Amino acid sequence: EIVLTQSPGTLSLSPGERATLSCRASQNIGSLYLGWYQQKPGQAPRLLISAASSRATGIPDRFSGSGSGTDFTLTISRLEPEDFAVYYCQQYYTSPWTFGQGTKVEIK
C-alpha cells in the first residue's frame, strides 16, 4: 500500500498570503496519478487538482499543483477567506487508492 505523508499538519496564514502544501509518496507514482481535494466542515471533499497539475472544472487559477515521482505540492497563490479548509492528497496509481492525512489551512 502506498503511504502519502502530508506536511505540515497545520498551516496558519493570513488572507492574501501564499500557501504551500506538501505530499510525499512512499514509492514512485509517476506524474499522472495524484490528486488534491479541499474539504470544509460538514461537506464532501471537492476535487481541486488531478494528474498532479490539472485544475478541475471551475477551480480558480490561484490553485496550482506540481510534482512527480514521490514529491508533490499544492500551492494557493493568494489565500481567499473561503480557502481556509483541510486539504488532502490522494494517489490513484495503484489499488488500494490512498489519501494523505490532510493539511489544515487555518486563519492566523
Partner 1 sequence: QVQLVQSGAEVKKPGASVKVSCKASGYTFTAYYMHWVRQAPGQGLEWMGWIDPRSGGTNYAQKFQGRVTMTRDTSSSTASMELSRLTSDDTAVYFCATDITVSILDYWGQGTLVTVSS
Cα distances from 40 to residues 4, 66, 104, in angstroms, run 21, 23, 10
Nearer to partner 1, 16 or 58 (CB): 58
Contact 13, 78 (CB under 8 A): no
Tell me the closest approach of the beta carbon of residue 14 to partner 1, in angstroms: 25
Is there binding between residue 66 and partner 1 (CB under 8 A)? no
SS3 82: helix
Instruction: Work out which of 65, 84, 90, 105 binds partner 1, going by CB under 8 A.
Output: 90
Q: Which stretch binds partner 1 (CB under 8 A): 19-27, 51-59, 60-68, 69-77?
A: 51-59
Nearer to partner 1, 15 or 29 (CB): 29
Tell me the closest approach of the beta carbon of residue 95 to partner 1, in angstroms: 6
| Residues making contact with partner 1 (CB under 8 A) | 35, 37, 39, 44-47, 50-51, 54, 56-57, 88, 90, 92, 95-102
